[in-house]
Amino acid sequence: MKAVQRTGPLSLLYAFMDATRGRASVNGEIPRRERPIGLYILETGGCEGCFMEVESLNGSAFALEQAGFVCVSDPADADWLLLTGAVTRVCAEMLDRVWRAMPPGRSLIAVGACAVDGGPFPAGYATLGGLQALTPVRRAIPGCPPAPQEILHALEELARV
């Protein structure tokens, strides 16, 4: 990291170089797909820790796209829905709306303990207690919250299935 201490006219060049150098690379072979898997991230009422870790994964410190994934901002472009949070009763309608907007072949993945069974926020007057209240949870990434690298590894595993 010594280079980034240099300032002056070349500082931006150094900044570009360091930005590339610092990025974590994908372990193993890079998957070959016709197109990347589109990920849509939805927070449904948790502490937001899992959502922020997925956002970090989508940032520049991880090679998400190199691993064959791309985060999308429209559910119509998504293949997988990454759901974080305990699923509040108010958010169930939002979840349904987003799920219906996704094209056929869609998959639902619970990210973090809350998304599976509510974690520390089990069913109550305002919460359903995770996805399991709505549907069998077949694809889940455990953790409270899982680290971005753990989420990436889990996504790669799920993509191989």
Partner 1 sequence: MMGMGRIIRSGERVALSHYHLDAEQWSAMLSAPGATLPLISCWADDARAYVLLLEGDRPLLTSTAVEERRYLAPSSRFAGAEWGERVAYDLYGVEAMDAHGNGASALDEGGWTSTWPLSSRPGPAAGGLRPLAGSHLLRPEQTGLSGPLELSFEVRKGKVRSVEVCAGGAHRGVVSRLLGRTPEEAMPLVSRMTAGGFVAHPLAFARAVAQARGLVPGPGIRDVWMVLLEIERMSLHLFDMARTARGVDAELLATHCDHAREAIARACAEQGVSRRLMDMVTCDGFRDGLEIVPLAQAVHAVMQPRLAALEELHRVFASRLDGFAVLDVRLAERFAVGGVSGRASGRSMDMRRREAGMRLEALRATGSSQGDARAREGLRLAEIRDSLKLLERILGSIGLEDDEPAPDRTDEGIGVAEGARGDVWYWVRLKDGRIESLHVRDPGVSLLPVLGAMLRGYPISRVPAALGSIGISPAGIAL
Residues contributing to the site for partner 1 (CB under 8 A)? 1-2, 4-7, 11-12, 14-16, 18-19, 22-24, 42-49, 51-52, 55-56, 59-62, 85-86, 88-94, 98, 119-121, 124-127, 144-145, 147-148
Can you point out the beta strands (E) in 85-132? 107-111
Residue 113 CB, shortest distance to partner 1, in Å, is 10
C-beta closer to partner 1: residue 7 or 32: 7
Q: DSSP E strands: which ranges in 10-95?
A: 37-43, 69-71, 80-84
Cis geometry, peptide bond prior to residue 142 (ω within 30 degrees of 0): no
* Rounded least distance, CB 99 to partner 1, Å: 12
Give, rounded to a whole angstrom, the gap between the first and last alpha carbons of the chain: 39
Closer residue to partner 1 in complex, CB, 86/140: 86
Cβ nearer to partner 1, comparing 6 with 33: 6
**How far is it, in rounded angstroms, from Cα 80 to Cα 75?**
9
> Residue 21 or residue 160: which is nearer to partner 1 going by CB?
21
Compute the distance between CA of residue 48 and CA of residue 132 in angstroms, rounded to an integer.
Answer: 19
